[in-house]
Structure 1
Amino acid sequence: TDKFGKSEIALGGAEHCVSQHTVAYLRAHTGAYLASETPRAMARWSDKGGREQWAIEREKGGVVRSGDAVLLRDYTGNLLHAKGTDVLSEEHDKGPLQRFRFIIERKDGDGKVCAGD
Protein backbone atom coordinates (compact mmCIF):
# COMPACT_ATOMS: atom_id res chain seq x y z
CA THR A 1 0.00 0.00 0.00
CA ASP A 2 1.35 3.44 -0.89
CA LYS A 3 0.23 6.98 -0.02
CA PHE A 4 -2.65 6.52 -2.45
CA GLY A 5 -3.76 3.10 -1.20
CA LYS A 6 -3.53 0.07 -3.44
CA SER A 7 -3.03 1.01 -7.09
CA GLU A 8 -4.30 -0.80 -10.15
CA ILE A 9 -2.46 -0.92 -13.45
CA ALA A 10 -4.73 0.04 -16.35
CA LEU A 11 -3.33 -0.92 -19.76
CA GLY A 12 -4.93 -1.41 -23.15
CA GLY A 13 -6.78 -4.63 -22.35
CA ALA A 14 -6.82 -7.89 -20.43
CA GLU A 15 -4.16 -9.50 -22.66
CA HIS A 16 -1.55 -6.78 -22.06
CA CYS A 17 1.21 -7.64 -19.60
CA VAL A 18 3.77 -5.23 -18.16
CA SER A 19 7.34 -5.20 -19.48
CA GLN A 20 10.28 -2.79 -19.60
CA HIS A 21 9.08 0.72 -20.64
CA THR A 22 5.38 -0.20 -20.61
CA VAL A 23 3.37 2.99 -20.20
CA ALA A 24 0.66 2.53 -17.60
CA TYR A 25 -1.96 4.47 -15.68
CA LEU A 26 -1.94 3.86 -11.92
CA ARG A 27 -5.39 4.07 -10.37
CA ALA A 28 -5.69 4.66 -6.63
CA HIS A 29 -8.32 3.15 -4.36
CA THR A 30 -10.30 6.40 -4.85
CA GLY A 31 -10.67 5.76 -8.60
CA ALA A 32 -8.38 8.70 -9.43
CA TYR A 33 -5.21 8.21 -11.47
CA LEU A 34 -1.74 9.09 -10.20
CA ALA A 35 -0.59 12.22 -12.05
CA SER A 36 2.71 14.05 -12.19
CA GLU A 37 2.13 17.63 -11.14
CA THR A 38 5.80 18.54 -10.91
CA PRO A 39 7.22 18.33 -8.39
CA ARG A 40 4.38 16.46 -6.65
CA ALA A 41 2.59 13.33 -7.76
CA MET A 42 -1.06 13.11 -6.74
CA ALA A 43 -4.14 11.02 -7.47
CA ARG A 44 -6.94 13.59 -7.78
CA TRP A 45 -8.64 13.12 -11.16
CA SER A 46 -10.31 10.30 -13.07
CA ASP A 47 -8.81 11.53 -16.38
CA LYS A 48 -6.20 9.50 -18.27
CA GLY A 49 -4.00 12.06 -20.04
CA GLY A 50 -0.28 12.62 -20.50
CA ARG A 51 0.35 13.61 -16.89
CA GLU A 52 -1.19 10.32 -15.74
CA GLN A 53 1.16 8.17 -17.84
CA TRP A 54 4.02 6.36 -16.09
CA ALA A 55 6.74 4.38 -17.86
CA ILE A 56 7.73 1.30 -15.89
CA GLU A 57 11.46 0.59 -15.72
CA ARG A 58 12.86 -2.72 -14.57
CA GLU A 59 16.63 -2.87 -14.09
CA LYS A 60 16.91 -6.29 -15.72
CA GLY A 61 14.43 -5.49 -18.51
CA GLY A 62 11.89 -8.03 -19.70
CA VAL A 63 8.45 -8.91 -18.36
CA VAL A 64 7.49 -7.64 -14.90
CA ARG A 65 6.47 -10.38 -12.47
CA SER A 66 4.76 -10.14 -9.10
CA GLY A 67 7.31 -9.08 -6.47
CA ASP A 68 9.61 -7.23 -8.91
CA ALA A 69 11.02 -3.84 -7.93
CA VAL A 70 10.50 -1.15 -10.57
CA LEU A 71 11.07 2.56 -11.14
CA LEU A 72 8.29 4.82 -12.43
CA ARG A 73 9.14 7.63 -14.87
CA ASP A 74 6.68 10.45 -15.68
CA TYR A 75 5.95 12.18 -19.00
CA THR A 76 8.86 14.62 -18.47
CA GLY A 77 11.35 11.82 -17.75
CA ASN A 78 11.42 12.42 -13.99
CA LEU A 79 11.48 9.46 -11.61
CA LEU A 80 8.87 9.03 -8.90
CA HIS A 81 10.21 8.92 -5.34
CA ALA A 82 9.21 9.60 -1.75
CA LYS A 83 10.66 12.30 0.47
CA GLY A 84 9.21 12.16 3.97
CA THR A 85 5.45 11.93 3.51
CA ASP A 86 5.50 13.50 0.02
CA VAL A 87 5.50 11.58 -3.25
CA LEU A 88 7.50 13.56 -5.82
CA SER A 89 8.58 13.44 -9.44
CA GLU A 90 11.37 15.98 -9.82
CA GLU A 91 14.66 14.42 -11.05
CA HIS A 92 15.71 12.55 -14.22
CA ASP A 93 18.81 10.95 -12.72
CA LYS A 94 18.86 7.83 -10.59
CA GLY A 95 20.34 9.54 -7.52
CA PRO A 96 19.90 8.47 -3.87
CA LEU A 97 16.27 9.66 -3.72
CA GLN A 98 15.35 8.11 -7.06
CA ARG A 99 16.64 4.72 -6.02
CA PHE A 100 13.24 4.37 -4.38
CA ARG A 101 11.68 1.22 -5.82
CA PHE A 102 8.06 0.18 -6.06
CA ILE A 103 7.19 -3.46 -5.58
CA ILE A 104 4.53 -4.64 -8.01
CA GLU A 105 2.23 -7.39 -6.78
CA ARG A 106 -0.58 -9.22 -8.52
CA LYS A 107 -4.00 -9.42 -6.91
CA ASP A 108 -4.00 -13.19 -7.36
CA GLY A 109 -0.54 -14.50 -6.43
CA ASP A 110 2.62 -15.05 -8.46
CA GLY A 111 3.25 -14.63 -12.17
CA LYS A 112 3.34 -11.95 -14.84
CA VAL A 113 1.70 -8.62 -14.04
CA CYS A 114 -1.01 -7.83 -16.59
CA ALA A 115 -3.78 -5.27 -17.10
CA GLY A 116 -6.17 -5.23 -14.16
CA ASP A 117 -3.62 -6.49 -11.61
Structure 2
Amino acid sequence: TLVGILEVFLRVRRTGRMLTVQGGRVHGKSSQRGSLQRLTLERAAGDGEVRSGDEVFLRAWAGNYVTVQGTRVHAMANRTGKLQRLVIERTRDGAPITPGSTVFLRAYTGKCIDAADPRAFGVVRARWGHHGSWQQLVVEPAVSTPRPAPRPAPRPSPAPAPATPGQCVEPASLGRCAPCLHSVQCGGGRFCCPFMKRCVASSRQRCPAPIAGCRPLCRDGQDPAKCTCSHETFPARWQGPTCT
Protein backbone atom coordinates (compact mmCIF):
# COMPACT_ATOMS: atom_id res chain seq x y z
CA THR A 1 0.00 0.00 0.00
CA LEU A 2 1.24 3.50 -0.83
CA VAL A 3 1.68 5.79 2.18
CA GLY A 4 2.04 9.55 2.66
CA ILE A 5 4.62 11.14 0.35
CA LEU A 6 6.38 8.90 -2.15
CA GLU A 7 7.93 8.87 -5.60
CA VAL A 8 6.15 7.08 -8.43
CA PHE A 9 5.99 6.70 -12.19
CA LEU A 10 2.59 6.88 -13.89
CA ARG A 11 2.36 4.66 -16.98
CA VAL A 12 -0.34 5.27 -19.55
CA ARG A 13 -1.90 1.83 -19.64
CA ARG A 14 -3.12 1.97 -23.25
CA THR A 15 0.19 3.13 -24.80
CA GLY A 16 2.82 1.96 -22.30
CA ARG A 17 4.34 5.46 -22.26
CA MET A 18 5.10 7.40 -19.10
CA LEU A 19 3.60 10.64 -17.86
CA THR A 20 6.47 13.11 -18.29
CA VAL A 21 7.06 16.66 -17.02
CA GLN A 22 9.46 18.58 -19.26
CA GLY A 23 9.82 22.16 -18.18
CA GLY A 24 6.23 23.27 -17.75
CA ARG A 25 4.87 20.74 -20.25
CA VAL A 26 3.16 17.47 -19.32
CA HIS A 27 3.07 14.77 -21.99
CA GLY A 28 2.89 11.02 -22.39
CA LYS A 29 5.35 10.40 -25.22
CA SER A 30 8.37 8.88 -23.45
CA SER A 31 8.97 5.26 -22.54
CA GLN A 32 11.88 6.18 -20.22
CA ARG A 33 11.81 6.05 -16.44
CA GLY A 34 14.08 8.92 -15.49
CA SER A 35 13.98 12.17 -13.56
CA LEU A 36 11.48 13.75 -15.98
CA GLN A 37 9.06 10.89 -15.35
CA ARG A 38 9.56 10.72 -11.58
CA LEU A 39 6.64 12.27 -9.69
CA THR A 40 6.26 12.80 -5.96
CA LEU A 41 2.74 11.85 -4.92
CA GLU A 42 1.73 13.94 -1.91
CA ARG A 43 -1.40 13.01 0.01
CA ALA A 44 -3.22 16.31 0.68
CA ALA A 45 -4.33 15.12 4.13
CA GLY A 46 -0.73 14.31 5.10
CA ASP A 47 0.82 11.06 6.22
CA GLY A 48 -1.33 7.95 5.90
CA GLU A 49 -2.44 5.20 3.55
CA VAL A 50 -3.38 6.42 0.05
CA ARG A 51 -6.85 5.16 -0.90
CA SER A 52 -9.27 5.66 -3.78
CA GLY A 53 -11.01 9.00 -3.27
CA ASP A 54 -8.04 10.69 -1.55
CA GLU A 55 -6.90 14.12 -2.72
CA VAL A 56 -3.28 14.24 -3.87
CA PHE A 57 -0.74 16.56 -5.47
CA LEU A 58 1.84 15.47 -8.06
CA ARG A 59 5.20 17.27 -7.72
CA ALA A 60 7.75 17.04 -10.54
CA TRP A 61 11.52 16.79 -10.11
CA ALA A 62 11.98 20.59 -10.32
CA GLY A 63 9.40 21.28 -7.61
CA ASN A 64 6.59 22.32 -9.95
CA TYR A 65 3.16 20.71 -9.68
CA VAL A 66 0.90 19.03 -12.24
CA THR A 67 -1.90 21.54 -12.84
CA VAL A 68 -5.27 21.35 -14.61
CA GLN A 69 -6.71 24.56 -16.11
CA GLY A 70 -9.89 23.85 -18.00
CA THR A 71 -8.97 20.90 -20.23
CA ARG A 72 -5.28 21.85 -20.31
CA VAL A 73 -2.73 19.95 -18.19
CA HIS A 74 0.65 21.56 -17.46
CA ALA A 75 3.23 21.93 -14.68
CA MET A 76 4.00 25.63 -14.56
CA ALA A 77 2.94 26.20 -10.93
CA ASN A 78 5.21 25.82 -7.90
CA ARG A 79 2.37 26.02 -5.39
CA THR A 80 -0.51 23.80 -4.35
CA GLY A 81 -4.10 24.93 -4.67
CA LYS A 82 -7.40 24.08 -6.33
CA LEU A 83 -5.85 23.70 -9.79
CA GLN A 84 -3.19 21.28 -8.51
CA ARG A 85 -5.51 19.18 -6.32
CA LEU A 86 -6.38 15.80 -7.89
CA VAL A 87 -8.60 12.99 -6.63
CA ILE A 88 -6.97 9.59 -7.17
CA GLU A 89 -9.60 6.97 -7.97
CA ARG A 90 -9.94 3.27 -8.60
CA THR A 91 -13.08 1.62 -9.91
CA ARG A 92 -13.90 0.60 -6.31
CA ASP A 93 -14.32 3.54 -3.95
CA GLY A 94 -12.11 3.48 -0.86
CA ALA A 95 -9.85 0.73 -2.23
CA PRO A 96 -6.16 1.10 -1.26
CA ILE A 97 -3.75 2.34 -3.93
CA THR A 98 -1.01 -0.27 -4.30
CA PRO A 99 1.95 -0.70 -6.70
CA GLY A 100 0.49 -1.78 -10.03
CA SER A 101 -2.93 -0.24 -9.34
CA THR A 102 -4.77 1.21 -12.34
CA VAL A 103 -5.98 4.66 -11.28
CA PHE A 104 -7.76 7.72 -12.62
CA LEU A 105 -6.90 11.32 -11.70
CA ARG A 106 -9.92 13.62 -11.40
CA ALA A 107 -9.38 17.39 -11.49
CA TYR A 108 -11.40 20.12 -9.77
CA THR A 109 -13.44 20.36 -13.00
CA GLY A 110 -14.77 16.84 -12.46
CA LYS A 111 -12.88 15.64 -15.54
CA CYS A 112 -10.25 12.88 -15.51
CA ILE A 113 -6.78 13.27 -17.01
CA ASP A 114 -6.49 11.42 -20.34
CA ALA A 115 -3.27 10.64 -22.21
CA ALA A 116 -4.09 7.94 -24.79
CA ASP A 117 -6.02 9.64 -27.60
CA PRO A 118 -4.74 7.87 -30.77
CA ARG A 119 -5.45 11.03 -32.79
CA ALA A 120 -3.13 13.11 -30.59
CA PHE A 121 -0.23 10.89 -29.49
CA GLY A 122 1.18 11.80 -26.11
CA VAL A 123 -1.06 14.81 -25.53
CA VAL A 124 -2.27 15.00 -21.92
CA ARG A 125 -5.61 16.68 -21.25
CA ALA A 126 -8.60 16.52 -18.88
CA ARG A 127 -11.76 16.34 -20.99
CA TRP A 128 -14.23 13.74 -19.73
CA GLY A 129 -15.53 12.59 -16.38
CA HIS A 130 -15.84 8.86 -17.02
CA HIS A 131 -13.36 6.03 -16.30
CA GLY A 132 -12.26 4.93 -19.78
CA SER A 133 -9.17 3.32 -21.31
CA TRP A 134 -7.77 6.72 -22.31
CA GLN A 135 -7.82 7.78 -18.65
CA GLN A 136 -6.16 4.67 -17.17
CA LEU A 137 -2.80 5.23 -15.45
CA VAL A 138 -0.75 2.50 -13.77
CA VAL A 139 1.11 3.38 -10.54
CA GLU A 140 4.72 2.14 -10.46
CA PRO A 141 7.01 2.87 -7.47
CA ALA A 142 9.99 4.94 -8.64
CA VAL A 143 12.36 2.77 -6.59
CA SER A 144 12.01 -0.93 -6.02
CA THR A 145 12.87 -1.36 -2.37
CA PRO A 146 13.97 -4.85 -1.30
CA ARG A 147 12.98 -5.96 2.17
CA PRO A 148 15.86 -4.89 4.44
CA ALA A 149 17.50 -7.27 6.86
CA PRO A 150 16.45 -6.69 10.47
CA ARG A 151 18.62 -4.17 12.24
CA PRO A 152 18.58 -2.41 15.60
CA ALA A 153 16.34 0.61 15.84
CA PRO A 154 18.31 3.88 15.59
CA ARG A 155 18.91 5.65 18.86
CA PRO A 156 16.63 8.68 19.04
CA SER A 157 18.44 11.96 18.67
CA PRO A 158 17.96 14.63 21.31
CA ALA A 159 15.31 17.26 20.85
CA PRO A 160 16.52 20.26 18.87
CA ALA A 161 18.20 22.91 20.97
CA PRO A 162 16.06 25.96 21.60
CA ALA A 163 16.83 28.81 19.24
CA THR A 164 18.60 31.68 20.97
CA PRO A 165 16.48 34.84 20.77
CA GLY A 166 17.82 36.94 17.92
CA GLN A 167 19.92 34.07 16.53
CA CYS A 168 19.22 33.39 12.86
CA VAL A 169 20.13 30.54 10.50
CA GLU A 170 22.21 31.27 7.41
CA PRO A 171 20.65 30.12 4.11
CA ALA A 172 21.85 26.68 2.89
CA SER A 173 23.69 26.06 6.18
CA LEU A 174 21.79 23.08 7.64
CA GLY A 175 22.88 19.48 7.06
CA ARG A 176 21.17 16.12 6.74
CA CYS A 177 18.10 15.72 8.99
CA ALA A 178 18.69 19.07 10.73
CA PRO A 179 15.52 20.72 12.07
CA CYS A 180 14.32 23.42 9.67
CA LEU A 181 11.52 25.92 9.13
CA HIS A 182 11.97 26.51 5.38
CA SER A 183 13.85 24.80 2.54
CA VAL A 184 16.09 27.85 2.05
CA GLN A 185 17.80 26.92 5.34
CA CYS A 186 18.86 23.46 4.05
CA GLY A 187 22.19 22.93 2.27
CA GLY A 188 23.49 20.30 -0.13
CA GLY A 189 20.45 20.34 -2.41
CA ARG A 190 18.15 19.29 0.44
CA PHE A 191 14.67 20.62 1.19
CA CYS A 192 12.65 21.00 4.37
CA CYS A 193 10.27 18.04 4.58
CA PRO A 194 6.76 19.49 5.06
CA PHE A 195 5.83 16.67 7.47
CA MET A 196 9.01 16.11 9.54
CA LYS A 197 10.40 19.68 9.17
CA ARG A 198 13.90 18.28 8.84
CA CYS A 199 16.32 18.74 5.92
CA VAL A 200 16.10 15.78 3.52
CA ALA A 201 17.43 14.94 0.06
CA SER A 202 14.27 13.11 -1.06
CA SER A 203 10.77 12.30 0.12
CA ARG A 204 11.90 8.72 0.86
CA GLN A 205 14.52 9.78 3.42
CA ARG A 206 13.70 9.09 7.05
CA CYS A 207 15.13 10.98 10.03
CA PRO A 208 15.33 9.96 13.70
CA ALA A 209 12.91 11.36 16.28
CA PRO A 210 11.86 13.93 17.14
CA ILE A 211 9.97 15.10 14.06
CA ALA A 212 7.56 18.01 13.89
CA GLY A 213 4.68 15.82 12.61
CA CYS A 214 2.80 18.49 10.66
CA ARG A 215 -0.71 17.62 9.46
CA PRO A 216 -1.75 19.13 7.09
CA LEU A 217 1.72 19.43 5.58
CA CYS A 218 3.53 22.65 6.52
CA ARG A 219 4.89 23.80 3.17
CA ASP A 220 7.36 26.49 2.15
CA GLY A 221 5.55 29.78 1.87
CA GLN A 222 3.39 29.09 4.93
CA ASP A 223 3.96 30.79 8.27
CA PRO A 224 5.27 27.96 10.53
CA ALA A 225 3.45 29.54 13.47
CA LYS A 226 0.15 28.83 11.70
CA CYS A 227 0.95 25.17 10.95
CA THR A 228 -0.57 22.35 13.01
CA CYS A 229 2.31 20.11 14.16
CA SER A 230 2.44 17.55 16.95
CA HIS A 231 5.85 18.31 18.50
CA GLU A 232 5.61 20.80 21.35
CA THR A 233 8.78 22.70 20.40
CA PHE A 234 7.60 23.55 16.86
CA PRO A 235 8.06 26.23 15.70
CA ALA A 236 9.17 28.51 18.55
CA ARG A 237 12.05 26.31 19.81
CA TRP A 238 12.52 24.10 16.73
CA GLN A 239 14.86 26.29 14.70
CA GLY A 240 15.78 29.95 14.35
CA PRO A 241 14.52 32.22 11.56
CA THR A 242 16.45 32.57 8.29
CA CYS A 243 19.07 35.31 8.24
CA THR A 244 18.29 38.11 5.80
TM (norm. structure 2) is 0.38
What's 2:51 paired with? 65
2:27 aligned residue (32, 42, 52)? 42
Q: Greater share of strand residues, 1 or 2?
A: 1
Alpha-carbon separation, structure 2, partners of 1:109 and 1:67 = 6
SS in 2 for 1:114: coil
Aligned residues: 99
Offset at 1:59? 1.9
SS in 2 for 1:34: strand
Asked whether the 8 Å contact 1:40–1:86 carries over to 2, the reply is no
Alpha-carbon separation, structure 1, partners of 2:53 and 2:70 = 24
Q: Residues 87-106 of structure 1 correspond to what in structure 2 (within 5 A)?
A: 87-95=73-81, 97-98=83-84, 101-106=85-90
SS in 1 for 2:5: coil
Is residue 2:38 matched to residue 1:53?
Answer: yes
What's 2:2 paired with? 18
CA RMSD of aligned residues (A): 1.7
Q: 1:30 to 1:89 in 2, by over 3 A?
A: same
Asked whether the 8 Å contact 2:53–2:93 carries over to 1, the reply is no
Alpha-carbon separation, structure 1, partners of 2:82 and 2:90 = 27
Q: 1:58 to 1:25 in 2, by over 3 A?
A: same
SS in 1 for 2:45: coil
Q: Which amino acid aligns with 2:69?
A: K
Q: Which runs of 5+ in 2 are unaligned?
A: 102-244
Offset at 1:31? 0.8
1:27 aligned residue (7, 11, 28)? 11
Offset at 1:107? 5.0
Structure index of larger Rg: 2
Identity %, equivalent residues = 33
Q: Which amino acid aligns with 1:24?
A: V
TM (norm. structure 1) is 0.75
What's 2:69 paired with? 83
Asked whether the 8 Å contact 2:45–2:55 carries over to 1, the reply is no
Choose between structure 1 and 2 for higher RCO, CA contacts under 8 A separated by at least 6 residues. Answer: 1
Q: 1:48 to 1:95 in 2, by over 3 A?
A: same
